[in-house]
Amino acid sequence: MTIPPWLDDFLWTYGNLVHALGVNGLLALSMYVVLAVGQLSLGQAAFMGLGAYSSVLMTQQLGLPFWAVLPLSVLAPVVFALVIGLPTLRLSGVYLAIATIGLGEVLRAVYLNVDLFGGALGLSGIPERADNTMIYGLLLAAILALWLVGRSGIGRAMEAMREDETAAAVMGVNLLRYKMGALVASAALAGLAGCLNAHVSSFIGPGEYGFEPAVTILSYALLGGIGTPIASVVGAFILTLLPELLRELSDLRLVLNGVIIVVAVLFLPGGVLPFRLRRRAA
Amino acid sequence: MNRRHFVAAMAGVMALAGAARAQEPVQLGSIEILSGPNAAYGVAIKAGLELALDEVNAKGVLGGRKINLIVEDSAANKDQAINAARKLIGRDKVVAIIGPTLSNEMFAVGPVANERKIPILGTSTTANGITAMGDYVFRTSLPESDVIPVTLKKAMDRGVKTIALMYANDDAFSKSGYDVMKSAAEKAGLKIVDIESFGSKDSDFSAQLTKIKQLKPDAVGISALVEPVSGVLLAARQLGFGPETLFIGGNGSNSPKLGEIAGKAADGLLVGSPWFVGKPTAVNTKFVADFQKKYSKEPDQFAAQAYDAMKIMAAAIDRAGAAEPAMVRDALMQTKFEGVMGPFSFTTGRDPASAEGVVVLVMQNGKFGIAP
């Protein structure tokens, strides 16, 4: 089958946007996982950065093939999550948020000051290895996995924790184990997203994994809703598409972008898709 | 209507259509930062491009066709810059792209344009390795490696033998400027006594400056954006650095804001610049006057670079003989141009060939003048 030239041009024009939708969907899931156990962690951008930097170094310095790089890209963020998990998960609410922002800033300083990471110049000339099949395959697999977990007993425990930690603990839910599990899963998803993003956009720099992207990732989940995994992905899609759909408006673009988000948050406090996972009665 | 009339009418219609096609504007794209904290650079560049465009379109290219300039905002974001480039190439079918504003953005956008064989011309991207990305990546901005040696030479003429270097390590522009400063100082035979770094948003530089003061270098080279440079200079004067220490700035110091923020503390600072508002050539005086008339403010270096770039691009499209990207690329390579920055041509590596236009400026009473 041959693709007509106009369609080919169309797909090429929005190729990067299509990549970004998938990658941001993965990031939204990474946020969903921690929010689902009632933790406000803002370390997702930092995990993404670890995945991106470690995978690019594996590709550029070690010359590993991408089928090896992609699974290995979860390694650095997961190890990091395990190390920082124990001390930080004793915190909760806004204190955990502040601690995880701090971790992101520490990593940013490391990228800036260690020559291996290219300093402020970042790493450029990354070969294009990832494609839509990989990105959307992983996204679908992640949604499916989280959906199944959510419907199982684990999901029930997670929801109980989100609603009331103390009550959940009294009922016999091992809080630390679930929190740790959620953080590790979140780190792995963000790491994959970082690796995929780096291998479709040819350049990464330390500024892409700081505080601002951390808040953007949080807003994906908040706009979409955290009742189901798919809701946060929808939130990511909306927030990624908006600036490009509004591109024609040039000057008013960012204003309208902001207005739409404010209106959505005001009138849809539970997110765009405020439904909960259905579970059979026990 | 009989057949002969019909044929004649059809021929007439077709001739008209042909003429209309010849008059169709040439699509030219540009990607600049028009929103966010770095918007000042993009807005200045856009102003320079549009001023030059007015002059170009008064005559037209390729026998009277106008250039339609489509400027897209990147918001200093890598993904938005790539999206903008893909839109310009895939939808608007531009023949070439001017921009993007930052070197980091160019590292992301350059490969996209190169893959589609669309010439891309940076006007403000000074980092090393930009044009090495591919045969379609050009720049008119002098890399720092061409400017800083000229500044250092001027300093050595004044008897500087030892130098301490300071730089902001958290932005690409400052870091690459420092890399150049260090290698240029080594090459010129200057003794580097100390290297200190800081963050672009720092406000306290006393630890670094106290250390440098004890080492008594003849000069201090600073590579950072204008705000931290001003902060360093103010702190240095407080710590007792006098006129015996020569301060040398990278391209970041080359902004009228330095005098506004640091005032007299900046006096004596040397900076190399590819352009100067008071450059006494006829093209430049006309450019400055036209710019002031259109925007009622003085142009800066970024507007000047963009002004030249637009004229270089328009001339290349005209020489190419058709609005075909590959032909425009070849025509760009043949560029011989006399602009506000001085004589201009490309090297075989698609960088500016000559640093003749570089002037060394000195800060005096909060204003830049040409260094004696």
| B171-212 pLDDT, tens digit each | 778 888 999 999 999 999 999 999 999 988 888 999 999 999
Other beta carbons within 10 angstroms of residue B337's beta carbon come to 17
Determine the pLDDT at residue B15. 52
Determine the pLDDT at residue A199. 94
Looking at the structure, do residues B267 and B136 belong to the same domain, yes or no? no
Tens-digit pLDDT profile for residues A7-21 = 777 888 888 899 999
Nearest-Cα distance to chain B for A248, in Å, is: 9
Residue B3: inside a domain, yes or no?
no
Domain map (residue ranges) of chain A? 19-210
Q: Are B198 and B168 in contact (CB under 8 A)?
A: yes
The tokens describing A10, both together, are 């169309």
Q: Are A194 and A233 in contact (CB under 8 A)?
A: no
Q: What is the CATH number of the domain that holds B86?
A: 3.40.50.2300
Using a 10 angstrom Cβ sphere, with 0-12 exposed, 13-18 middle and 19 or more buried, the burial of residue B61 is: buried
The tokens describing B12, both together, are 């007439």
Determine the pLDDT at residue A207. 84
Q: Are B126 and B176 in contact (CB under 8 A)?
A: yes
Q: Which residue is closest to B36 within chain A, CA to CA?
A: A254
Q: Is the pLDDT of residue A273 over 90?
A: no
State how far the Cα of B217 lies from the Cα of B241, in Å rounded to an integer.
11
Determine the pLDDT at residue A263. 85
State how far the Cα of B164 lies from the Cα of B193, in Å rounded to an integer.
5
Which of the four pLDDT bands, split at 50, 70 and 90, describes residue A3?
A: low
Task: Provide the CA A175 distance to its chain's centre, in angstroms.
Answer: 23
Rounded mean pLDDT, B344-350: 94
Question: Length of chain B, please?
Answer: 372
State how far the Cα of B18 lies from the Cα of B7, in Å rounded to an integer.
16
Q: Is the pLDDT of residue B346 over 70?
A: yes
Residue B191, strand partner residues: B162
Tell me how far apart the terminal alpha carbons of chain B are, to the nearest angstrom.
81
| Chain B interface test: which of A17, A105, A124 (most B C-beta within 10 Å) | A124
Q: Are B213 and B180 in contact (CB under 8 A)?
A: no
Tens-digit pLDDT profile for residues B262-310 = 999 999 999 998 888 888 899 999 999 999 999 998 898 899 999 999 9
B78 touches chain A (CB under 8 A): yes
Residue B18: inside a domain, yes or no?
yes
Which of B78, B232, B61 lies closest to A123 in space, CA to CA?
A: B78
Determine the pLDDT at residue B5. 63
Q: Name residues whose C-beta falls within 8 Å of residue A218's C-beta, 6 or more positions apart in sequence.
A: A31, A42, A44
- Across the interface, of B80, B86, B107, the residue whose CB is closest to A15 is B86
Q: Are A97 and A46 in contact (CB under 8 A)?
A: no
Nearest-Cα distance to chain A for B155, in Å, is: 28
Distances from the Cα of B42 to the Cα of A122, B134, B306, angstroms: 22, 24, 10
Residue B365: inside a domain, yes or no?
yes
Lowest mean pLDDT among A38-47, A83-92, B342-351: A83-92
Determine the pLDDT at residue A282. 47
- Across the interface, of B79, B111, B175, the residue whose CB is closest to A120 is B175
Looking at the structure, do residues B46 and B151 belong to the same domain, yes or no? no
Average pLDDT, chain B: 90
Nearest-Cα distance to chain B for A266, in Å, is: 25
Lowest mean pLDDT among A172-186, A206-220, A223-237, A247-261: A247-261
In degrees, rounded to 5, the angle at the alpha carbon of residue B73 between the alpha carbons of residues A111 and B43 is 95
Rounded mean pLDDT, B337-362: 90
Q: Is the pLDDT of residue B22 over 80?
A: no
Distances from the Cα of B137 to the Cα of B27, B36, B117, B121, B327, angstroms: 18, 26, 9, 6, 14
Nearest-Cα distance to chain A for B177, in Å, is: 11
- Across the interface, of B86, B133, B176, the residue whose CB is closest to A121 is B176
Kindly determine whether residue B169 and residue A119, on different chains, have CB atoms separated by under 8 Å.
yes
Nearest-Cα distance to chain B for A155, in Å, is: 35
- Across the interface, of A122, A202, A208, the residue whose CB is closest to B172 is A122
HEC profile of chain A: CCCCHHHHHHHHHCHHHHHHHHHHHHHHHHHHHHHHCCCCCCCHHHHHHHHHHHHHHHHHCCCCCHHHHHHHCCHHHHHHHHHHHHHHCCCCHHHHHHHHHHHHHHHHHHHHHCHHHCHHHCEECCCCCCCHHHHHHHHHHHHHHHHHHHHCHHHHHHHHHHHCHHHHHHCCCCHHHHHHHHHHHHHHHHHHHHHHHHHHHCEECHHHHCHHHHHHHHHHHHHHCCCCHHHHHHHHHHHHHHHHHCHHHHHHHHHHHHHHHHHHHHHCCCCCCCCCCCCCCC
B80 touches chain A (CB under 8 A): yes
Q: Is the pLDDT of residue A82 over 60?
A: yes
Using a 10 angstrom Cβ sphere, with 0-12 exposed, 13-18 middle and 19 or more buried, the burial of residue B319 is: middle
Nearest-Cα distance to chain B for A255, in Å, is: 11
Amino acid at B335: T
Higher confidence at residue A50 or residue B342?
A50
Looking at the structure, do residues B131 and B46 belong to the same domain, yes or no? yes
Determine the pLDDT at residue B306. 96
Q: Is the pLDDT of residue A2 over 70?
A: no
State how far the Cα of B88 lies from the Cα of A233, in Å rounded to an integer.
28
In degrees, rounded to 5, the angle at the alpha carbon of residue A109 between the alpha carbons of residues A108 and A110 is 90
Looking at the structure, do residues B23 and B96 belong to the same domain, yes or no? yes
The tokens describing B359, both together, are 């002037």
Kindly determine whether residue B83 and residue A9, on different chains, have CB atoms separated by under 8 Å.
no
Looking at the structure, do residues B90 and B160 belong to the same domain, yes or no? no
- The pTM of this model reads 0.81
Please name the residue that has the structure tokens 């993007």. Answer: B100
Which of A126, A120, A142 lies closest to A74 in space, CA to CA?
A: A142
B349 touches chain A (CB under 8 A): no
Higher confidence at residue A249 or residue A238?
A238
Which of the four pLDDT bands, split at 50, 70 and 90, describes residue A180?
A: very high
Task: Provide the CA B7 distance to its chain's centre, in angstroms.
Answer: 55
Residue B347: inside a domain, yes or no?
no
Report chain A residues touching chain B, CB-CB < 8 A. Answer: 9-10, 12-17, 20, 108, 112-113, 119-122, 124-125, 201-203, 205-208, 243-244, 247, 250-251, 253-254
Rounded mean pLDDT, B347-358: 89
Looking at the structure, do residues B176 and B228 belong to the same domain, yes or no? yes
HEC profile of chain B: CCHHHHHHHHHHHHHHHHHHHHHCCEEEEEEECCCCCCHHHHHHHHHHHHHHHHHHHHHCECCCECEEEEEEECCCCHHHHHHHHHHHHHCCCCCCEECCCCHHHHHHHHHHHHHCCCCEEECCCCCCCCHHHCCCEEECCCCHHHHHHHHHHHHHHCCCCEEEEEEECCCHHHHHHHHHHHHHHHHHCCEEEEEEEECCCCCCCHHHHHHHHHHCCCEEEEECCHHHHHHHHHHHHHCCCCCCCEEEECHHHCCCHHHHHHHHHHCCCEEEECCCCCCCCHHHHHHHHHHHHHHCCCCCHHHHHHHHHHHHHHHHHHHHCCCCHHHHHHHHHCCCEEECCEEECECCCCCECCCCCCEEEEEECCEEEECC
Which of the four pLDDT bands, split at 50, 70 and 90, describes residue B332?
A: very high
Ramachandran quadrant class, B75 (left: phi over 0; alpha: psi -120 to 50; beta: rest)? left
Kindly determine whether residue B80 and residue A201, on different chains, have CB atoms separated by under 8 Å.
no
State how far the Cα of B28 lies from the Cα of B34, in Å rounded to an integer.
18
Which residues constitute the domain of residue B254?
145-273+359-370
How many domains is chain B built from? 2
Determine the pLDDT at residue B282. 93
Q: Name residues whose C-beta falls within 8 Å of residue B118's C-beta, 6 or more positions apart in sequence.
A: B89, B94, B95, B96, B97, B136, B325
Beta-carbon pairs below 8 A across chains A and B? 84
Which of the four pLDDT bands, split at 50, 70 and 90, describes residue B2?
A: low
B196 touches chain A (CB under 8 A): no
Longest dimension (CA), chain A: 63
Q: Which residue is closest to A120 within chain B, CA to CA?
A: B172
State how far the Cα of A154 lies from the Cα of A85, in Å rounded to an integer.
20
Nearest-Cα distance to chain B for A233, in Å, is: 19
